[in-house]
Amino acid sequence: MKRAVSAVIVKRDEDGVKVLCIRRSKKERDPLTWEIPRGGVEENETLTQGLIRECKEEVGLDVSVGKLIDTFKYSKWNESFSEKVDVISYNYFCYMKDSKQEVKLSHEHDSYFWISSCQLPRGQAPWLEQ
């Protein structure tokens, strides 16, 4: 089973708590869909190492890894769409090491925004209210 990680990157500022959302570019799989930074973990990496690498590659941020939020299993097509692959995803809170960092998107993404926890319907993200 392949391992994957997802980062709920949290930023606190004068407007409250915010989470980074990124949009996949037109040329990528699932084009123009919004997501959080995520990706596969290499065989020689720990989950933490994979998460730190994915955050740096996808959004250019240096993060510290926080608490595990949840895990889930799913199946997806491999890159050649020839077979299904089983994946377990580990989803973590991550925090910017320096709040002055700028988001620098990779070619995989074309837009981003910080969504405020107050913009989410109450109860939809209880993990943000902790």
What's the predicted TM-score (pTM) here?
0.85
Indicate the fold that domain 2-119 takes in CATH. Nucleoside Triphosphate Pyrophosphohydrolase (3.90.79)
CB neighbour list of residue 99: distance below 8 Å, 6 or more residues apart: 11, 13
Quickly state the pLDDT bin for 24 (edges 50, 70, 90). very high
| Pairwise CA distance, residues 5 & 37, whole Å | 8
Q: Which two tokens stand for residue 71?
A: 């895990």
pLDDT over threshold 50, residue 31: yes
Tens digit of each residue's pLDDT (9 = 90 or more) over 60-94:
999 999 999 999 999 988 878 899 999 999 999 99
Look up residue 122 and give its amino acid. R
CB 39 within 8 A of CB 50: yes
pLDDT over threshold 60, residue 44: yes
Q: Is 74 exposed, middle or buried (0-12, 13-18, 19+ CB in 10 A)?
A: exposed
- Of 19-28, 76-85, 93-102, the least confident: 76-85
